[in-house]
């Protein structure tokens, strides 16, 4: 099974960059790395995804290690609205999409 | 485009009752998923479907059933409700779960007493 491991929780000061790590040492060559976040009392929402190259969008950047066994979600300037649980996920061996426990990000004003 | 819609938003069931959680998507996605999320925990996959007529078990399928007779609808059936099924249920859909995003519904909060 393709699994990911993330720290349980992280803290950041408001307006500072945040680097959220994810390890996925069993990733296969065709697995895309997806990041979602879940704000309190809401469903998960898409953040970003990538395969091999680093990716940027309006929400965040995704830095993927050269061996693809780890990746880092980068929030360039954390705001209070970024306080959420962040999930790094890969597909499972078939078509399942399995969420791990994620990283709970707290943003300190 | 409504995206993924779920009904009801909230429901209280008595132990042993049955109910169906509805999920509909209007994006013509082949892939659909049901997750549950217990308080303070992550999402657990219950069932998923890769197209009409095809369903498969996820991590925690016991106590649930699904069907997928159309591309748009993916109802989740609870047959004999138990307190352990108290949770928030999320439905999601995707065109391609490997390369594209999953879209989530707003969730159904279920309380079994």
- pLDDT score for B96: 82
Asked if residue B19 lies in contact with residue B81, where contact means CB atoms within 8 angstroms, the answer is yes
Q: pLDDT digit string (tens) for A9-32?
A: 999 999 999 999 999 998 888 888
Which tokens hold the place of B33?
């998923």
Indicate whether A1 pLDDT > 60. no
- pLDDT-above-90 percentage for chain B: 86
Tell me how close the Cα of A94 comes to any Cα of chain B, in angstroms. Answer: 10
Q: For B8, phi and psi rounded to 5 degrees?
A: -80, 175
Question: Which of residues A101 and B27 earns the better pLDDT score?
Answer: B27
**Inter-chain CB proximity A96 and B58 less than 8 Å:** yes
B39 in contact with A, Cβ within 8 Å: no
| Least Cα separation, residue A35 to chain B (angstroms) | 9
Cα separation, B5 vs A19, whole angstroms: 33
Nearest Cβ partner of A97 from B33, B42, B99? B33
Distance of CA A87 to the CA centre of its chain: 5
Element (H, E) at A35: strand A33-38
Averaged pLDDT for residues A52-79: 94
With b for 16 or more beta-carbon neighbours within 10 A and e for fewer, the B43-70 pattern comes to bbbbbbbeebeebeebebbeebebbbee
Residue A46's nearest CA partner among A94, A96, A84, A95 is A84
Mean pLDDT, rounded, for B76-84: 95
Which residue among B42, B97, B99 sits closest to A97, beta carbon to beta carbon? Answer: B97
B31 in reach of chain A (CB within 8 A): yes
Q: Which residues of B touch A9 (CB under 8 A)?
A: none
């Amino acid at each position: 099974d393709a699994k990911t491991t993330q720290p349980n929780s992280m803290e950041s000061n408001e307006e500072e960059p945040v680097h959220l790590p994810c390890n996925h040492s069993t990733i296969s060559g065709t697995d895309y790395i997806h990041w979602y976040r879940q704000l309190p009392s809401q469903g998960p929402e898409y953040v970003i995804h990538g395969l091999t190259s680093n990716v940027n969008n309006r929400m965040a950047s995704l830095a993927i290690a050269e061996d693809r066994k780890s990746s880092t979600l980068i929030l360039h300037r954390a705001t209070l609205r970024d306080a959420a649980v962040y999930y790094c996920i890969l597909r499972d061996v078939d078509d399942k999409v399995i969420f791990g426990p994620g990283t709970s990000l707290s943003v300190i004003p | 485009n409504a995206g993924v819609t779920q009904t009801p938003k909230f429901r209280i069931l008595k132990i042993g009752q049955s109910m169906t959680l509805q999920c509909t998507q209007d994006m013509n996605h082949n892939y659909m998923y049901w997750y549950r999320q217990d308080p303070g925990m992550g999402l657990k996959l219950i069932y998923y479907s890769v197209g009409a007529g095809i369903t498969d078990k996820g991590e925690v399928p016991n106590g649930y059933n699904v069907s997928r007779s159309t591309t748009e609808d993916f109802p989740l059936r609870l047959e004999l409700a138990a307190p352990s099924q108290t949770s928030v249920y999320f439905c999601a859909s995707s065109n391609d779960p490997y390369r594209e995003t999953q879209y989530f519904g707003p969730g159904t909060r279920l309380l079994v007493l």
